[in-house]
Amino acid sequence: MQVKCNVLDRQFQMYQSEYEAAALRVLRSGWYVLGSEVQQFEEAFAKYTGRKYCVGLNSGLDALILSVRALGIGSGDEVIVQANTYIATVLGITENGATPVFVEPDAFFNMDADRLEQAITDRTRAIMVTHLYGQASNMTPIVEIAQRHHLEIIEDCAQSHGACFGGKMTGTFGVSGCFSFYPTKNLGAFGDAGAVVTDDAAFADKLRMMRNYGSKVKYHNEIEGVNSRLDEMQAALLSVKLAHLQELNEERRMLAKRYSEGITNPRVILPGVREGAESIYHQYVVRCADRDALQKALEQQGIQTQIHYPIPPHLAGCYARLGHKKGEYPITEAYADEVLSLPIYTGMTLEEQDYVIRRINAWT
């Protein structure tokens, strides 16, 4: 049997007629960028997250970059970020000339709140929290520390659409909730797309200007903006998927539960969920001291797995200039050597999953 890491067309087939109707509507409308479809999606997504405003953008990376920029954070400023996040989170900081300050993750792969405060200096302006793999971070202490030090919170929710902490949706704990709708995300488009959600009207306004060359009124460019507009096609398709997001997340939770109950190999460490937190299982990530051998064994049996992520940002070639050394963030580096993401996706059959579980349990 062959089991891929992700099979994107299964979720298309599930709602095919709805997607096709939405696509045709856009094609026939004669209006393709920033129109009524974008506005409707923004309203629906703001409502879904429980925020006042949503600003549709080109990508998740743009949501991060523009959030940092709209807060006036740049050269000479520091932004705290967890060390085991995806490179995009860190690029959101460095694209603005600000300096990332890394914090080790906790047992749930998210920012370790107990190590947060010691990373704060008099240059710190914001804390960037990634709800990695779909699990909400430990927001009670993080929010408390941010408030005490007058720091902004920017949440990277690219993997956590719909995940809550203490019953509150990720993306609603700070000024900015940054979302990616890259096709593989839980709420994925059919191309690139992203968004910011916020309750701050002035912040939302600024982002709306920034995404469209810095202008509110055409050709009146008040600030130096970019082109990060969301197009009508992606917005219309996202509206279709958003209406099903809850059931899609439920499906992943069901699959994750089956993995957690089914995998009994003592060499494989299963992911836990923090009390008060929820996961939407963007990834189901196990740890294994002999990870590369496990990955290879599974590959030989037709099972594709992935590593999120093999090289932590502080050791990435692009950040050599920051001067970090191997051994500086030992927990992060151990995770990079041990994590393995098992196949989990919309439309995964129980037969496919049982095959993965059997092969893992048979591995010695």
Ligand X SMILES: *Cc1c(COP(=O)(O)O)cnc(C)c1O
Helices vs strands, H then E, count in the chain: 12, 11
Adjacent-strand bridge partners of 80: 101, 127
Nearer to ligand X, 60 or 258 (CB): 60
Segment interacting with ligand X, rule: CB under 6 A, options 1-9, 55-63, 103-111, 138-146: 55-63
Q: Is 169 helix (H, G, I), strand (E, B) or coil?
A: strand
**What is the DSSP secondary structure assignment for residue 180, as one 8-state letter?**
E
Angle of helix 232-242 versus helix 245-262 axis, rounded to 10: 60
For ligand X, the binding residue among 48, 182, 203, 329 (CB under 6 A) is 182
Residue pair 344/44 in contact (Cβ under 8 Å)? The answer is no
Please say which residue, 173 or 355, places its beta carbon nearer to ligand X: 173
CA-atom Rg of the chain in angstroms = 20
Residue 331 sits at φ, ψ, to 5 deg, of -70, -45
Identify residue 338 by its one-letter amino acid code.
E
Q: How far is the CB of 89 from ligand X (least distance, A)?
A: 5
Structure token digits, residue 195 = 């968004």
Scan residues 303-362 and list those touching ligand X (CB under 6 A): none
Residue from 41, 48, 86, 165 binding ligand X (CB under 6 A):
86
Q: Which of 6, 89, 279, 305 binds ligand X (CB under 6 A)?
A: 89
The H-or-E segment that residue 136 falls in is: none
61 interacts with ligand X by CB under 6 A: yes
Kindly state whether residue 126 participates in binding ligand X, applying the rule CB under 6 A. no
130 near ligand X, rule: CB under 6 A: yes
Cα–Cα distance list, 136 to 90, 155, 158 (Å) = 19, 10, 12
Residue closer to ligand X (CB basis): 59 or 198: 59
Give, for 54, the enclosing helix (H) or strand (E).
Answer: strand 53-57
User: How many of the chain's residues bind ligand X (CB under 6 A)?
Assistant: 15
Instruction: Choose the stretch contacting ligand X; rule: CB under 6 A; options: 22-30, 111-119, 156-164, 260-268.
Output: 156-164
CB of 190 to ligand X, least distance (A): 13
Cβ distance to ligand X smaller for residue 116 or 158? 158
Query: Facing residues of 169 across strands?
Result: 164
136 binds ligand X (CB under 6 A): no
**Up-side HSE of residue 214: CA atoms within 13 Å toward CB?**
9
Contact between 108 and 273 (Cβ < 8 Å): yes
Say if strands 168-169 and 176-180 run parallel, antiparallel, or are unpaired.
unpaired
* Dist. CA 277–CA 138, nearest whole Å: 7
60 is a contact residue toward ligand X (CB under 6 A): yes
Q: Which stretch binds ligand X (CB under 6 A): 85-93, 237-245, 316-324, 332-340?
A: 85-93
Assess 155 for contact with ligand X (CB under 6 A). no
Residue 94 binding ligand X, by CB under 6 A? no
Least separation in angstroms between CB 161 and ligand X = 11
Question: Do β-strands 168-169 and 152-156 pair in parallel, antiparallel, or remain unpaired?
Answer: unpaired
Site string for ligand X, 194-223 (x = CB under 6 A): x-----------------------------
Q: Specify the residue, 152 or 156, whose C-beta has the smaller distance to ligand X.
A: 156
Q: How far is the CB of 185 from ligand X (least distance, A)?
A: 6
Neighbour count for residue 208 (Cβ, 10 Å): 19
Q: Which of 59, 94, 228, 279 binds ligand X (CB under 6 A)?
A: 59
- Residue written as token pair 């940002």: 313
* 96 binds ligand X, rule: CB under 6 A: no
Binding site for ligand X (CB under 6 A): 59-61, 85-86, 88-89, 130, 156, 158-159, 180, 182, 192, 194
